[in-house]
Structure 1
Amino acid sequence: MSVSTKYNYPPKISILRFFLDVEGVRRDPIPYHRRYFDKLGDSFSIQIGVSRHIILSRNNDVAEYILQKNQKNYYKSKFQSVYLSKYLGNGLLTVDGEFWLKQRRLIQPAFHKQKMNQLVENMEQIIVSELNNLIEEKSIDLFPVMSELAFNVVAKSLFQFSISDEKLNRIKFIIEEVQNFLIKEIRLPHKAWWFSISGQVKKHLKLADENNKIIQEIIEERIASKSEVNDLLNMLLETRYEDSGEGMPVVQLIDEIKILFTAGHETTANALTFTLHLLGNHPDAQLKIFDEIVKIESETDNVIEQLQKMTFINAVLNESMRLYPPAWITDRENVEDDNLAGFNIRKGTLIGVSFYELHRNPKYWENPNEFIPERFLGEQKKKSLQYFYPFGAGPRMCIGAGFAIYEMCLTLSYIVKRYVIKSTKNEIQFNPLITLKPVGAEVIFSKR
């Protein structure tokens, strides 16, 4: 755009309204976002100072444009690149540009479908082991159970037999502690000075460093053993950069493993919790899953073939992630001036896309707040997928999406085959942190 270009933005929230709402937004932004969208349209903006703008959108054209059509002009914001990288290092989730592309090309083959198929047998064993002693006939809080399962699936798929329970529990503790503090830093930027002088930043950086050392020990032990194990660590150690033919440096491998741990377990735990809660309120959908499993198992005992036939289970998962997307929001900043959905925006504009609101936008979805898995079956599926972002979109789409789907399908099929699920509440509460975290989802498992 030329120097004389006039910038214009979507309808603005007044600064007064913004400051009146700011504390409530910090606690739970979703009700405020909904109110602003209903009043101002599918995109709105906030002006900070003379020239700084923030845009929030539930417009599919905006999502497609910044994530796919013109993604090279849109980098991750400092919330992801600065705050996250401070504790998680420079892995796929936190870097941009040429370095991100180089890492993506290096790691992508390890997550190819054929490679994921090799991990399925081990994944199934972990899931069976974790769910073997589910509490029956008593109301239980789902999220801790699903969190433990998802963490162990990621950890043992990464390291298989190379990690002790003591180290595993320490990694889990550190990840949770650091993430909880990170949320405070992002939500309460005006308290940054206090977090620093009170020693909280130093404490959590020290924890992150301890995590690095634990993972480094595991990697170095594996390299020294020269043993070939069928896990993700082995696949990552075997990868080679196109230009040099060399493997990933250990320091970089540590950063990528931390990203896989952090991004790979909580989003899956969230999705499984929301899905089981929804199934607990929809016995008809449970019965359809049960019938599908029985039919599939009568046709083949090959787990990969079974996974490929789980069309209704996949539809249930998709509909659950539509209503409660684990990664509920994403953001980008434009590197250069641009025209975004008819608005001339200055470089450095922060653009957020609320997948939670986009997935419930009546412009794209009929009866948007209802649980209707059939949206993701047959001809309807093609239409639904146009407006569906459970793992993001474009080149930066979540690299572990296939892994997560396998894990969730195996978990749901195991549970529904053995148990009838009943939710104790119709509505579910959630906390929109970095991910959309379910709160107080309680169900009763009864032997089928």
Structure 2
Amino acid sequence: AVAVKAHFRAQRDSFYGAPLWKFAPTTLYKTFVRSEEAIHTIVSELMEEAKSRTHGSAQDDGMQQIFLKILANPALDMRDKKAGVIDFITAGIETLANSLIFLLYLLSSRPDWQEKIRSELPSCGELRLEELSAAPSVKAAINESFRLLPTAPFLARLLETPMTIRGHRLPAGTFVLAHTGAACRREENFWRATEYLPERWISYREPHAASLVAPFGRGRRMCPGKRFVELELQLILAKIMQKWRVEFDGELDIQFDFLLSPKSPVSLRFVEW
């Protein structure tokens, strides 16, 4: 997790700072290299461990099962396999945890919505997919969290063809960041745009530019883990709401480390119903 965080910070600084790293091995460049080496070393160790196991011994370990399936794919060479595992780990460690923190923080301001979620769920026991599907308030809470505090607040694209935007001509090859996070907070795109209102995803009220909410990207570059993360957040939130309500005092300090993340450890209170 430390290496992944350092990696994202180095990416941030390389995009927005002076590109001195292109001409000399700056401190930023060395930090980036060290974090890359640490991630590759850890992934190599995990892959070796996975290869040493049989399919039968890894049945109860979801992570090992994923590694084994990637390693067993004959269509990929070892470099592709390692790249796939690295993407799985680096993309998942920070984003899922931060998405959950942002969700619970925002939901703490809406005890009434927490009650609504609880009322739509069975009081105890295992949760099945049908029961989650019958609780629209869960998905609404998550969608609204993605709108206000997406871990990835922009879409990154490299233009394949020239484009003109409001009189400004951008040549092919231009790197473009579309700040969807800022657009989602504009009143012309969402009614009461700065407020956490999960109900907007159940009873639509114009303006409602839902297509701007794109925490996993768009098109062929969309995050392949989108469905997995959505289901995981739904399940975690539902299990929490079955037993506890969430409280938080004050404001959450957020920083930009190429992705949005809490600036310091977050202390949420879980209070039994």
Residue number among 357, 377, 389 corresponding to 2:182 in the alignment: 357
Alpha carbons 1:290, 1:417 under 8 Å: kept: yes
- Cα 1:352–1:207 shift into 2, 3 Å: closer
Q: How far apart are the structure 1 equivalents of 2:26 and 2:136?
A: 54
Q: How far apart are the structure 1 equivalents of 2:8 and 2:24?
A: 14
Aligned to 2:62: none
What are the residue-to-residue correspondences of 1:131-146 with 2, within 5 Å? none
Alpha carbons 1:421, 1:443 under 8 Å: kept: yes
Q: How far apart are the structure 2 equivalents of 1:263 and 1:271?
A: 12
Alpha carbons 1:376, 1:384 under 8 Å: kept: no
What are the residue-to-residue correspondences of 1:294-333 with 2, within 5 Å? 294=122, 301=126, 303-333=128-158
Aligned to 1:104: none
Q: Rg bigger for which structure? A: 1
Aligned to 2:110: 282
Q: How far apart are the structure 2 equivalents of 1:304 and 1:354?
A: 33
Q: How far apart are the structure 2 equivalents of 1:221 and 1:408?
A: 29
- Cα 1:184–1:280 shift into 2, 3 Å: same
- Cα 1:206–1:271 shift into 2, 3 Å: closer
Q: How far apart are the structure 2 equivalents of 1:352 and 1:404?
A: 23
Q: How far apart are the structure 1 equivalents of 2:46 and 2:39?
A: 11
Q: How far apart are the structure 1 equivalents of 2:220 and 2:26?
A: 40
State yes or no: 1:415 paired with 2:240: yes
Q: CA deviation at 1:404?
A: 0.7
SS at match of 1:386: helix
Q: CA deviation at 1:390?
A: 2.0
Q: How far apart are the structure 2 equivalents of 1:358 and 1:419?
A: 33
Alpha carbons 1:336, 1:346 under 8 Å: kept: yes
- Cα 1:315–1:255 shift into 2, 3 Å: same
Aligned to 1:387: 212
- Cα 1:195–1:408 shift into 2, 3 Å: farther
Q: Deviations over 1:49-72 (max 9, x none)?
A: xxxxxxxxxxxxxxxxxxxxxxxx
Alpha carbons 2:99, 2:150 under 8 Å: kept: yes
- Cα 1:215–1:443 shift into 2, 3 Å: closer
Please identify, of 334-343 and 400-409, the stretch whose mean Cα deviation from structure 2 is larger: 334-343
- Cα 1:221–1:305 shift into 2, 3 Å: same
RMSD of aligned alpha carbons: 3.0
Q: How far apart are the structure 1 equivalents of 2:102 and 2:26?
A: 39
Q: CA deviation at 1:362?
A: 1.7
TM-score by length of 1: 0.53
Higher relative contact order (CA 8 A, sep 6+): 1
Q: Deviations over 1:359-400 (max 9, x none)?
A: 11222211111111112125669x553332121111211110
Aligned to 1:128: none
State yes or no: 1:428 paired with 2:243: no
Q: Deviations over 1:12-71 (max 9, x none)?
A: xxxxxxxxxxxxxxxxxxxxxxxxxxxxxxxxxxxxxxxxxxxxxxxxxxxxxxxxxxxx
Q: CA deviation at 1:206?
A: 4.1
Q: CA deviation at 1:238?
A: 4.4
What are the residue-to-residue correspondences of 1:58-77 with 2, within 5 Å? none
- Cα 1:201–1:334 shift into 2, 3 Å: closer
Aligned to 1:218: 46
Gaps of 5+ in 2: 60-64
Q: Deviations over 1:291-311 (max 9, x none)?
A: 12237x68xx45333333332
Q: How far apart are the structure 2 equivalents of 1:369 and 1:316?
A: 15
Q: CA deviation at 1:236?
A: 2.4
* Counterpart residue type for residue 119 of structure 2: D
What are the residue-to-residue correspondences of 1:236-275 with 2, within 5 Å? 236-239=70-73, 246-275=74-103
SS at match of 1:335: coil
Instruction: Provide the aligned length of Structure 1 versus Structure 2.
Output: 266
SS at match of 2:172: coil
Gaps of 5+ in 1: 1-171, 240-245
* Counterpart residue type for residue 234 of structure 1: L
Q: How far apart are the structure 2 equivalents of 1:223 and 1:345?
A: 48
* Counterpart residue type for residue 215 of structure 1: V
Residue number among 170, 174, 180 corresponding to 2:3 in the alignment: 174
- Cα 1:444–1:226 shift into 2, 3 Å: closer
Alpha carbons 1:420, 1:446 under 8 Å: kept: yes
Q: How far apart are the structure 2 equivalents of 1:310 and 1:325?
A: 22
* Counterpart residue type for residue 175 of structure 1: V
TM-score by length of 2: 0.83
- Cα 1:389–1:211 shift into 2, 3 Å: closer
